[in-house]
Structure 1
């Protein structure tokens, strides 16, 4: 069904609905909009009449969104944020306020921070808070505006954008190439330590299998819970780790790490950007910038 713009409900009705849906309380919505309780109720009633279906269910004094109401709330948030941002830009206003971004430590240190100065030019008045976490369960924490996570898309009631798939390959300090026993052949891996980012070493097993070393004897291993620690250990020559161009590209370019072998394997997980159901213009600006930066980065490494 195609709805023409002139057949859309009035903006005041959408604003009344969005406020009531966010608070799940007509009185709080009325206070926010500086109108009466009855005015909010009437706007929502007119909107439901216009659409032809209910947006709320009444449970005593509480409001509960219907399934269609939840969908309209998500669409309304996006539309109002976009409109507010567009008007601010037309008026020459800067994006201000605070943006709390949660990212994995290695992603932040090795990929994001070197690019942050570019974003700061777009929003110099914005106060950024960069929080370090790679736990899937706190990606939608109430104190977080946006989150980047490496894993599988398990989050619900939010917007999840795919940022990038990755391919794994071994990386190590140049010293491991230059000192005995060296790394001239794949068989030399048996004399080195493998640095693990999962306790069972499943990622290494997948790479070894891909490289034709399924039956190779397992060398010494060290497990690290934090991938940033794995990279630090690899730079110090403690062993080899599996890296990707997002987290190890800067080290490879600077010569701090090298690729002893060219074989790579597709990762089972990917980088995702998680946006809560309610986002600010600043969060949407950053999310769009981050996605564009990643698209450009991935294009340039292929």
Structure 2
């Protein structure tokens, strides 16, 4: 293993503090040393690297381009080291955690189980933000607005984080009981084509895949309604506006209550899947929440009654 050629850790720590504050005196106060000690560490570091890290303009400091790059790298490294030590010491999960989740996933699956996590982390200030699904691949940044992690349904095209698979889902038709009574009753999947099909993707690709799997590869879909928000899709299905493709995570409660019925047993693996998206630097709280999500979904998929 190659030896790492790094400047002294104390010099890097001093530089990082001075670069954050852009002020030698405030860095000295933070580190508990003298202004002269900070200045000397910076000069020695610049000499060792052969680079100017600051521009000194009167009493002000400005970062050079190499200084800006080193600040970003050293800040991330110190944060990651701090997080790792906190996990080694078994510190309680505390602080703030900002999580963005699809509204249907939050309402139908996450919130009924959330107390399991919050009871285990009573010192954590958790904020859940609603995320609306989008099928525009150009909208690929999901970790803005100070988010610590995000849950998304779709394909892992997001640019600003690492997507870890939570679960694939099996999709099947569901509808209001009113669409299965009297003259509206269904006998075969072909009868679905008499009704409005509710879409969660604009082109209806998932419905075409389900119909093909049910023996109707060339089915002509003529009546559709598209909903970008899956909660609205489920609401439309409950109101009897048509049939939608749903899964156990988001439709399980409605199925259990009889508000939605499942007329056919055929199921397809949806084109999208649930992912947790994590930034390059993961806090202990975000890591704990992601690991809890993965474990809870694994339990649910093994037994949806849980």
Normalized against structure 1, the TM-score is what? 0.77
Q: CA deviation at 1:159?
A: 3.2
Q: Using the TM superposition, give the Cα deviation of residue 112 of structure 1 relative to its aligned residue in structure 2, in angstroms.
A: 0.6
Contact 1:195 1:230 in 2 (8 A): yes
**Residue in structure 2 matching 1:180, options 178, 183, 187:** 183
- Structure 2: gaps spanning 5 or more residues: 56-61, 134-138
Verify the 8 A CA contact 2:197 2:223 in the aligned structure 1: yes
1:198-237, Cα deviation, whole Å (9 max, x unpaired): 2222221222222221222324211112111001111122
Aligned match of 2:266? 263
The counterpart of 2:109, out of the listed 108, 111, 123, is 111
**Residue deviations 1:182-202 (CA, integer Å, cap 9, x gap):** 122112112211111122222
Q: What's the CA shift string for 1:22-79, capped at 9, x where partnerless? A: x496857666544567559849988xx9xxxx7x99586432437xx97886665444
Q: Evaluate the alpha carbon distance shift between residue 167 and residue 285 of structure 1 in structure 2; reply closer, same or farther with a 3 A threshold.
A: same
Please name the residue that 2:59 is paired with.
Answer: none
Distance, in Å, in 2 between the alignment partners of 1:239 and 1:265 is 19
CA shift, 1:88, in A, is 5.4
Does residue 1:246 correspond to 2:249, yes or no? yes
Question: 1:179: Cα distance to partner?
Answer: 3.4
Q: Find the aligned partners of 2:161 and 2:205 in 1 and give their Cα distance.
A: 30
Separation of aligned partners in 2, 1:86 and 1:123: 17
- The equivalent position to 2:283 in structure 1, one of 264, 271, 280, is 280
Q: Distance in 2 between matches of 1:216 and 1:268?
A: 19
Structural mapping, 1:94-109, within 5 Å: 94-109=92-107
| Distance in 2 of aligned mates of 1:79 and 1:17 | 17
Structure 1 residues 281 and 272: alpha-carbon distance in aligned structure 2, compared to 1, 3 A threshold:
same
**Is the counterpart of residue 290 in structure 1 residue 293 in structure 2?**
yes
The separation in 2 between residues aligned to 1:197 and 1:124, in whole angstroms, is 37
> Which stretch shows the higher mean deviation, 108-117 or 271-280?
271-280
Tell me: CA distance 1:9–1:215, structure 2 relative to 1, closer, same or farther (3 Å).
Answer: same
Aligned residues of 1:177 and 1:183 also touching (Cα < 8 A): yes
Pairing 1:39-50 to 2, within 5 Å after superposition: 39=38, 42=41
1:107-256 map, 5 Å: 107-135=105-133, 137=140, 139-256=142-259
Superposed displacement of residue 85, structure 1: 4.0
- Aligned Cα root-mean-square deviation (Å): 3.7
Asked if 1:87 is matched to 2:89, the reply is: yes
What is the DSSP-based 3-state SS (H/G/I as helix, E as strand, rest coil) of the residue aligned with 1:217? coil
Structure 1: runs of 5 or more not aligned: none
Contact residue 13 and residue 44 of structure 1 kept, 8 A: no
C-alpha deviation, 1:115, in angstroms = 0.6
| TM-fit CA distance, 1:9 | 9.9
Aligned residues of 1:18 and 1:76 also touching (Cα < 8 A) = no
Aligned length: 288
Alignment partners' CA distance in 2, 1:280 and 1:111: 24
Residue 207 to residue 42, structure 1, CA distance change in 2 (3 Å): farther
Q: TM-score, normalised by structure 2?
A: 0.76
